[in-house]
């Protein structure tokens, strides 16, 4: 641990602003004397005490509940004091200041001059949860799940984050690790007996164990990808020529008038974004400027930004105007956009051809580009919107029937892909006529390290700093 991890810390643990209740939290080792100096009495462990919170002169700042959790039975694994007061910002700041003052033993009617907690300082963002991780109360995946639970934008995401917090994801990772460790021990044991290594591995069914491990990994990867969708959502960019109905489609999907809709080409000059949910999956819909050649400098900037958004999309809704399908210039411009999309989009990003204005052109039956999904709809009447929503979920790889999902982050899925790559290399070594067992053992070791990075067993300090710095202060 770094030296700062031994300092006692204090912070306001509730969100900024006014509320019915606010919490000031203190964590550290040996807080009992501090509690006595701060409140003028000892507290029974894990019992709520209703009492005044005195200032240095003994006058009450507020009255509320005080709870003391001696180590190791606390959130951080250290002694923890929580003061639950009325949730006014001034009240909480006064309580926090009083905690820092009492730690130094400032003399007063209710205090002593002795320093009882000399190194008490304000907590850094996420430091309480970081200490819970460092003290073995939770692993890194569970720590991240706490932030994901707070930030969840849908009920499904909150439930999945709750499963990760309870350890469901970590249990899957530990199961993979245990199977991997067993196989590593088997392989590395043969390195001491090279003349018998092939027969030994064959009798121990190393190939079967590795195949079973890869199958387990595939299941975890599939669930993690689903969990990542719940956390990150789907970024769908609406693209197309001016006046195809892009802004109307955004308004229809959002169920609100978010974007200005006029018959004037080039009305949308910059992106307009709205997040909605489909079956619990967040959908970040972005309306962009109409794609065309323009001499207007402001519109040109909007078009450039539109292409930037398209290049970063998880899915592109290529909007076509059915009422203009008989116009050669319009069809040629659509073909030019399709060609540019094929060039600029990364491989695997789905493009859905959305044929809009079916209410105005009911008999038109356009074709779709090879490899594109297609849907006919009317942004004005809402016809076809449900079909589009389900196409978006399918394009993103969402499986509605998936049960027991846990939340996952991009770094988790990247680590699992690294594990998969190492196991594939290990399988190739086993399949070769003369396997190099030292290389096989190294691939298994690297796979285990990638797994350990998920739960924090092999996490670097800079990784931990990035993760916990994204938390709010007091958490």
Residues flagged as binding site: 25, 82, 137, 243-248, 262-268, 287-290, 378-380, 475
Taking the mean position of all CA atoms in its chain, how far away is CA 389?
Answer: 22
As given in the structure block, the two tokens for residue 46 are 């894990």
Rounded-to-integer distance, Cα 165 and Cα 155, Å: 15
Look at residues 411, 392, 408 and name the one whose alpha carbon lies nearest to residue 350: 392
Rounded-to-integer distance, Cα 284 and Cα 106, Å: 53
Q: Is 65 helix (H, G, I), strand (E, B) or coil?
A: strand
| Residues in the annotated binding site for (6S)-5-formyl-5,6,7,8-tetrahydrofolate | 25, 82, 137, 475
Q: What are phi and psi of 380, to 5 degrees?
A: -75, -45
| Residues in the annotated binding site for GTP | 243-248, 262-268, 287-290, 378-380
| Residues in the annotated binding site for Mg(2+) | 247, 268
Whole-angstrom CA distances from 407 to 204, 399, 442 are: 36, 15, 30
Cβ contacts of 373 within 8 Å, gap of 6 or more? 350, 351, 352, 353, 391, 394, 395
Whole-angstrom CA distances from 314 to 285, 286, 305, 372, 379 are: 10, 11, 16, 14, 22
Residue pair 219/213 in contact by the 8 Å Cβ criterion: no
Q: Is 60 helix (H, G, I), strand (E, B) or coil?
A: strand
| Residues in the annotated binding site for K(+) | 243, 262, 264, 267
Q: Edge-to-edge strand order for the sheet containing 234-240?
A: 272-278, 281-287, 234-240, 315-321, 351-356, 373-376
Q: Alpha helix (H) ranges present in 196-296?
A: 197-203, 206-232, 246-254
Q: Is 237 helix (H, G, I), strand (E, B) or coil?
A: strand
């Amino acid at each position: 641990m770094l030296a700062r991890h031994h300092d006692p810390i204090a912070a306001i643990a509730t969100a900024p602003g006014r509320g019915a209740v606010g919490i000031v939290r203190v964590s550290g080792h040996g807080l009992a004397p501090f509690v006595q100096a701060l409140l003028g009495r000892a507290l029974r462990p894990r019992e709520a005490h209703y009492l005044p919170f005195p200032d240095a002169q003994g006058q009450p700042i507020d009255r509320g509940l005080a709870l003391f959790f001696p180590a190791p039975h606390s959130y951080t694994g250290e002694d923890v004091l929580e003061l639950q007061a009325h949730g006014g910002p001034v009240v909480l700041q006064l309580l926090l200041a009083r905690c820092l003052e009492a730690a130094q033993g400032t003399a007063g009617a209710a205090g002593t001059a002795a320093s009882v907690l000399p190194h008490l300082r304000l907590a850094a963002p996420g430091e309480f949860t970081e200490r819970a991780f460092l003290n073995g109360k939770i692993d890194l995946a569970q720590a991240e799940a706490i932030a994901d639970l707070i930030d969840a934008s849908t009920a499904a995401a909150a439930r999945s984050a709750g499963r990760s917090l309870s350890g469901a994801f970590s249990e899957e990772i530990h199961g993979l690790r245990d199977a991997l460790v067993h196989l590593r021990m088997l392989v590395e044991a043969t390195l001491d007996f090279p003349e018998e290594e092939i027969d030994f591995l064959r009798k121990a069914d190393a190939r079967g164990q590795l195949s079973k491990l890869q199958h387990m990994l595939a299941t975890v990867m599939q669930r993690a990808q689903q969990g990542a969708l719940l956390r990150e959502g789907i970024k769908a960019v609406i693209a197309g020529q001016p006046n195809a109905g892009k802004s109307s489609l955004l308004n229809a999907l959002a169920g609100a008038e978010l974007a200005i809709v006029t018959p004037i080409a080039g009305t949308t000059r910059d992106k307009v974004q709205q997040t909605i949910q489909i079956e619990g999956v967040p959908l970040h819909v972005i309306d962009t400027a109409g794609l065309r050649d323009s001499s207007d400098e402001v519109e040109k900037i909007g078009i450039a930004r539109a292409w930037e958004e398209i290049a970063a999309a998880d899915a592109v809704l290529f909007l076509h105007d059915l009422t203009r399908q008989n116009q050669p210039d319009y069809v040629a411009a659509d073909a030019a956009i399709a060609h540019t999309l094929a060039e600029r989009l990364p491989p695997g990003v789905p493009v859905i051809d959305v044929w809009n204005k079916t209410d105005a052109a009911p008999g038109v039956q356009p074709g779709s580009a090879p490899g594109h999904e297609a849907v006919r709809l009317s942004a004005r009447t809402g016809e076809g919107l449900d079909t589009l929503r389900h196409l978006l979920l399918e394009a993103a790889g969402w499986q509605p029937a998936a049960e027991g999902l846990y939340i996952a982050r991009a770094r988790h899925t990247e680590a699992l892909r690294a594990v998969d790559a190492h196991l594939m290399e290990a399988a190739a070594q086993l399949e070769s006529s003369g396997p190099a067992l030292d290389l096989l053992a190294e691939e298994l070791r690297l796979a285990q390290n990638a797994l350990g990075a998920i739960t924090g067993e092999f996490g670097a300090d800079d990784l931990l700093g990035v993760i916990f710095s994204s938390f709010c202060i007091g958490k």
